[in-house]
Structures are given as structure tokens and as C-alpha cells.
Amino acid sequence: MLATAPDNDFALDLLANSLMHQGRFDEAVPMLRRVVAEGPGWPGSWFNLGWSLVEIGERDASLEPLRHAVALAPYEEQFRRLLIEMLRDRGHEEEARALEAASRDA
């Protein structure tokens, strides 16, 4: 599909997901960056970018897409859990506690 419609963000997102399932996170990152930059702003795409960045060791860079995913879909427990974990990992304990408190209050 991408061969005939290279601007199809949905197809690009699906390909990135497939690569992630194969453990090829480094290949998924540029695709996901393009999807979130040019696409409709799917929360899952933002989360997958953050998760892929974590998997390739770019933990600092993972924070922005994970924050964006949580902002778009605050009800997604998996999104919040990974963001909280990365916030703690990167020394942002106060933000992690605030996010935990907000999710308990919701």
C-alpha cells in the first residue's frame, strides 16, 4: 500500500506497529516520527513512538511523545504507567507523583 500511496499515514502506522512486534524498534522510530508529525494525531502513535524510543535507549527523548499520548488519551492506563516509569527513571519524581495522584482521583 505504501508503494502506491506513500503519504498514507494509516499504512505507515501499521507498518511501524508490525516492526515493533518484530522487535525492530529502531526501524519503527522514523516512521512513527513522521506519522505524529504529519498524521491525525492518534494517541497510540504517540505512545508507540515513546515506547520505541525507550526500547532503543533514548529514554530522555521518550518523555515528550509519552506525555503527548497521555494528554490525548488520559484513560489509557498503559500510557500512564510507562510515562510514570520513564519520569521516575529520568529523575522527574514530582511529575510522576502528580500523574499518579491525578489518575487515582479520576
- pTM of the entire structure? 0.91
Q: Is residue 95 part of a domain?
A: yes
Contacts of 67 (CB under 8 A, 6+ apart): 83
Q: Is residue 67 part of a domain?
A: yes
Q: Is residue 15 part of a domain?
A: yes
32-81 residue pLDDT tens: 999 999 877 899 999 999 999 999 999 999 999 999 999 999 999 999 99
Q: Is residue 1 part of a domain?
A: no
Q: Is residue 82 part of a domain?
A: yes
Q: Is residue 4 part of a domain?
A: no
Q: Is residue 3 part of a domain?
A: no
Whole domain around residue 52: which residue ranges?
A: 9-105
Beta carbons of 55 and 27 less than 8 angstroms apart: no
Average pLDDT taken over every residue of the chain: 92
C-alpha cell at 5: 500511496
**Number of compact structural domains in the chain:** 1
Beta carbons of 18 and 37 less than 8 angstroms apart: no
Q: Is residue 85 part of a domain?
A: yes
Which domain CATH number covers 37? 1.25.40.10
**Residue 96 pLDDT greater than 90, yes or no:** yes
